[in-house]
């Protein structure tokens, strides 16, 4: 009986030690990951040969930009849904549909201006030639001035 109790206590202790070791290692990894750059930006560092300081500034700009970008996407999606509901409820262009389309156009304009400002801001953290190359690439990869990527 005593031997079984010792084995049980050792197994429980080993299990708890393993749990805390794994939990500690995992939390250290999460802290390290969260303090580093977003993975989606890693390509920028190598593609545009950014120094650690330049890359840190780009990451900070990205992190500051993303909440506003997400909010714009939410507003555009919401406005699209309103317009779709209005269109589905009639067989003619109504004043409400016109207003909805104008509001959608205004939201898209606001989004594109915000995006372009962000691109210019990021490009200014790079050496001039790299900044110009970055701006050209962003125009190709985004709906900004790229009719192939624009959605109605």
- DSSP sequence for the chain: -HHHHHHHHHHHHHHHHHHHHHHHHHHHHHHHHHHS--GGGHHHHHHTT--HHHHHHHHHHHHHHHHHHHHHHHHHHHHHHHHHHHHHT-SS--HHHHHHHHHHHHHHHHHHHHHHHHHHHHHTTS-HHHHHHHHHHHHHHSSTT-TTT---
Is the pLDDT assigned to residue 135 strictly greater than 70? yes
Identify which has the larger pLDDT, 106 or 24: 106
CB count within 10 Å of CB 77 equals: 11
The predicted-structure confidence for 10-54, as pLDDT tens digits, reads as follows 445 444 444 544 444 444 434 334 445 688 899 999 999 999 999
- Model confidence pTM above 0.85: no
């Amino acid at each position: 009986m005593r031997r079984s109790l010792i084995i049980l206590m050792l197994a429980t202790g080993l299990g708890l030690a393993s749990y805390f070791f794994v939990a500690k290692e995992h939390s250290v990894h999460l802290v390290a990951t969260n303090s580093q750059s977003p993975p989606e930006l890693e390509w920028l560092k190598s593609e545009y040969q950014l120094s650690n300081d330049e890359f840190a500034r780009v990451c900070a700009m990205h992190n500051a930009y993303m909440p506003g970008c997400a909010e714009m996407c939410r507003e555009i999606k919401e406005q699209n849904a309103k317009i779709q509901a209005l269109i589905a409820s009639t067989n003619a262009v109504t004043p409400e549909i016109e207003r909805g389309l104008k509001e959608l156009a205004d939201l898209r304009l606001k989004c594109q201006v915000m995006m372009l400002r962000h691109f210019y801001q990021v490009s200014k953290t790079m050496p001039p030639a790299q900044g110009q190359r970055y701006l050209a690439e962003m125009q190709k990869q985004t709906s900004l001035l790229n009719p192939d990527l624009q959605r109605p």
